Chains A and B, each alone.
Chain A
Amino acid sequence: MTALPFLLLILATLAGYLLNRMAAGSIRANGARLHSMISYHGMFAALLVLVPVLTIILLWLAFEGPIIDRVVMSGLPDGLLDGQGDGALQLVLAEIKSISRGQIFGTPEDWKIAAADSYSALRTQSDWWMVAVVAGVSLAIIGFARSRVTAEFRARQGVERIVSGLMIFCSTVAVFTTIGIIVSLSYETVRFLDRVPLSEFLFGTNWEPQIPLREDQIAAEGAFGWLPVILGTMVITVVALFVAIPVGLLSAIYLNEFAPRKLRAVIKPVLEILAGVPTVVYGFFAVLVVAPAIRDLGQSIGIDVAPNTALAAGGVMGIMLVPFISSFADDALSAVPSSLRDAALGLGSTRAEMMTTVLFPAAIPGIVGGVLLAVSRAIGETMIVVMAAGLIAKMTINPLDSVTTVTVQIVTLLIGDTSFDNPKTLAAFALGMMLFLVTLMINVFALRIVRKYREAYD
């Protein structure tokens, strides 16, 4: 059913193209001199049909569902659902939908069946209306476009205006995505802060997002202080940097100054492979190899190590960050003007002295920028910690203990069925908001450092 409007759209576009092209062709055959080539006349009609009709179809598909839901819910008998929460309403709606699909469990109430009938009727109606609107609008546009075909018509300019409009739209998608992220995260965060005060979220030292599902259930009250979560994130990030910075910087120094050309040509792609390995693979590696190894090592020297220690997750994350840091540092070292190198070498320093006393200090701003970007990656990294770090938030900075991170909490709170009306789900969005803000700040800062530094030597 959804394929039909798209089929109509393709047919209308083709029809518009051919009609206008033929019309322009016949004008030319009559001896008139056309302003634009006939293919531009065709393109003009095709784009004129394609753009608005495609917009109509996409908007229709996007808003049809929510509007029908609302109509069905408001058509329910009065007083039935008064005073029920959002979740209960969602459940009723889901049940009505599954009844309308023919999946009936037990014997539903009559009003539910009636609602399901009206739901399917509305859906069919909406589908037919969409087909009718698509056909009507397409025909009107084809007619309009056909009437514009004259010898003087500047079809090329018309086409170019539409194309440049399309390109502007394409480049604003990135902006809309950012806006979408900010709006959706803030909306849910505000709803979260309605239930949990901001001061508790920011300064609370207790994170226990288990909340009772029913009124009478005995469960933890639920505590939403994000400090232990961000502390755990920092522990893992620091462990990762302890691995990534030395290995990354030293390999960059070697690659930049000492590696023979041929060796460099081999090493660089291998490091890129390390960078291209999906994080879920690193996560499995941490669980399968690194965590047991650390545990065995701890046992052999008599230290009790948690099975999902921060050391394993952080260490593997460090490996993931090595190529990242090394390529940034390599770029930063290469960006230092060769006059500095030549001067140092000319004064008689060895290449190592030149590297440690001139080149490296000169490249430090660029390297710091790269390391900051690595920090923001480590904070936002999800799969390694979801698989290898813990779930329980503790106020500890012991890397041998099990800690949890912001991303782990987001994923565990949202995995499985989620409804948008309990603090547990909303807490994930609040954490996501904080994650977005923190990484955004670090990224902006880091990119600024990198750019400033590049300009300084240009």
Chain B
Amino acid sequence: MTDITSASGAPTPKRATELVAASLKRRRRKQARLKWIGLGAIGVAFLMLIILVGSLVSSGWQAFTQTHVTLEVFVDPEEIPLDRLPRGGFDDALGASLGKMLPGVDMSQRKVAKSVEKILSNGAQFKLRDMVVADPKLIGQTITMTVPVSDPFDQLNKNLIDRDTPEQHRRVKDPEIGYFDALKAQGAITKPFNWALFTNADSRFPELAGLKGALAGTFWALLTCFVISFPLGIGAAIYLEEFAPKNKLSDFIEVNINNLAAVPSVVFGLLALAVFIGWFGLPRSAPFVGGLTLALMTMPTIIIATRAALKAVPPSIREAALGLGASKQQVVFQHVLPLAMPGVMTGTIIGLAQALGETAPLLLIGMNAFITSAASSPFDSATALPTQIFIWADSPERGFVSRTSAAILILLGFLVAMNAVAIFLRQKFENKW
């Protein structure tokens, strides 16, 4: 040490301190840099989450309202004769009532009448038909009804269609905008909350499409998934944690469960397609098959969570119960399991939340079909919430973009709610030993 310093011209102690101070400064700068880069990385992740949610909200919130038009419909006995029900010229009756509200418009011209009728949703005539069929006395009367407008005019009313674009690039033409504005000036156009999003099933027309079918399908699939995976998962976890002898077989089962948790979801879809549908002949597109598949995927999650919860129960509980003469199974089922239940429920809810968002296996078993009614049993054809999102995302109509975002917001809402329940359960009931 002394040799080197004398060779390089002995630094005074003061100079050594300066050197260290300088290098320390550099080193601290480096530390600050690493810290800021790390914070930046987290910032990137946060930014992505914000952009993700922001873009969904900004395109999805519009779908929670739906433009409606209120009409005075004269149920013309000539157009809709009693003896021809449920057939009749319901669309013409609606068109005529629209024409009455637009004084300057010559409805006798076929072309003009057609473009006026374009304002109404295709579902309007079915709504009128259902009303008249339910109460044939309406024929000959004038009734007030509020019906959805068709998708282009809904977009127009929500300012999603730019009126300044040249007419040929626009889906609504100038005269049509004129009719619509005239209706709006009379106060006939309203934009209430879009209940149809929850009470209608799927439809080819965006203004009529709703999530009822998807929600029903998801409900049946998750119910099936829960009924199967919950008992199986708990049984397996209790056996492996409390009773299994430590041998090769138990190790093999454990490795199996861990690997199963990491198998790609689409492989479970292939399994379901080949075994449940191909070999056992279960119906395609049925939520029951979907639930069965999801159960196989959820089971490892439940097993792992249950084992962790069982492990957290202190041995003193077991020893106390054993000491009082309980059998091993009585100890587990009457003391350990009830104490572990909050953890088990938390794990189960998290597993079900994962299953709720799972899409790929459901696509393979055909739960992406176009189905316009809600399933009333787990064996009816149905879609599920995530597959409905996939279907809508693939649909070309503009109106489906905001519906897709809205459906995603609803799905995320369910996920947040389920996770909140899980966290609440954990904090409220979990025992701290």
Task: Give the interface of A toward B (CB within 8 A).
Answer: 62-63, 65-66, 69, 156, 160, 163-164, 166-175, 177-178, 180-181, 184-185, 187-188, 246-251, 253-255, 258, 267, 270-271, 273-274, 276-285, 287-289, 319, 322-323, 326, 350-353, 355-356, 373, 376-377, 379-383, 386-387, 407, 410-411, 414-415, 418, 420, 428-429, 432, 435-436, 439-440, 443-444, 447
Contacts and interface: CB of A to CB of B under 8 A. Distances in A.
Contacts of B240: 171
Contacts of B358: 278
Given A258-B38, A319-B48, A382 B360 contact: yes
Contact of B274 (A248, A387, A429): A429
B327 interface: yes
B357 A410 contact: no
Contacts of A250: 37-38, 40-42
Nearest to B47: A319
A141 B33 CA distance: 76
Interface in B368-408: 368, 386, 389-390, 393-394, 401, 404-405, 408
Closest 5 CB pairs of A and B: A380-B264, A254-B38, A278-B357, A170-B235, A352-B31
A166 B235 CA distance: 7
Given A173-B299, A175-B252, A185-B270, A164 B243 contact: yes
B264 A435 contact: yes
Interface string B34-62: 11011111101110110110011001000
B408 to A, nearest CB: 5
6 contacts: A170-B233, A171-B236, A184-B270, A284-B405, A289-B52, A350-B28
Interface centre among A250, A386, A444 (most CB of B within 10 A): A250
Contact of B45 (A168, A174, A271): A271
Contacts of A170: 231-236, 239
B264 A277 contact: no
Contact of A386 (B45, B260, B280, B360): B360
Nearest to A278: B357
Contacts of A271: 45
B427 interface: no
Contact of A283 (B231, B275, B393, B419): B393
Nearest to B364: A414
B412 A281 contact: yes
B327 A65 contact: no
Nearest to A446: B262
Interface in B90-119: none
Given A250-B37, A414-B270, 4 more contacts: A188-B274, A248-B41, A382-B360, A440-B263
Given A65-B280, A167-B243, A278-B386, A383 B360 contact: yes
Contact of B266 (A177, A270, A407): A407
Contacts of B296: 177
Contact of B271 (A180, A435, A444): A180
B279 interface: yes
A53 to B, nearest CB: 17
A444 B262 CA distance: 10
B235 A171 contact: yes
Interface string B271-290: 10111001111100000000
Interface size range of chain B in the complex: 35 or more
Given A251-B42, A382-B360, A435-B267, A274 B48 contact: yes
A355 B34 contact: yes
Contact of B353 (A62, A175, A276): A276
B393 A160 contact: no
B226 to A, nearest CB: 15
Contact of B363 (A62, A323, A411, A444): A411
Given A65-B281, A171-B239, A285-B55, A254 B39 contact: yes
Contact of A411 (B257, B266, B393, B405): B266
B299 A174 contact: yes
Contacts of B356: 278
Nearest to B240: A171
Contacts of A386: 360, 363, 390
B415 interface: yes
B300 interface: yes
Contacts of B35: 254, 258, 352
Interface centre among A69, A184, A356, A444 (most CB of B within 10 A): A184
A188 B33 CA distance: 55
B389 A167 contact: no
B67 interface: no
Interface centre among B40, B45, B252, B269 (most CB of A within 10 A): B45
Contacts of B52: 277, 281-282, 285, 289, 319
Contact of A174 (B280, B300, B363): B300
B359 interface: yes
A178 B38 contact: no
A410 B266 contact: yes
Contacts of A383: 359-360, 386, 390
B241 to A, nearest CB: 10
Given A167-B238, A184-B275, A387 B390 contact: yes
A288 B401 contact: yes
Contact of A439 (B38, B42, B49, B263): B263
Contact of A274 (B45, B239, B263, B386): B45
A247 B45 contact: yes
Contact of A167 (B51, B236, B364, B368): B236
Interface in B49-98: 49, 51-52, 55-56, 59
B243 A420 contact: no
B17 interface: no
Contacts of B44: 247
A284 B39 contact: no
Given A66-B279, A280-B359, A178 B260 contact: yes
B411 interface: yes
Nearest to B24: A350
B27 A350 contact: yes
Given A187-B274, A276-B353, A414-B364, A175 B256 contact: yes
A251 B27 contact: no
B329 interface: yes
B146 interface: no
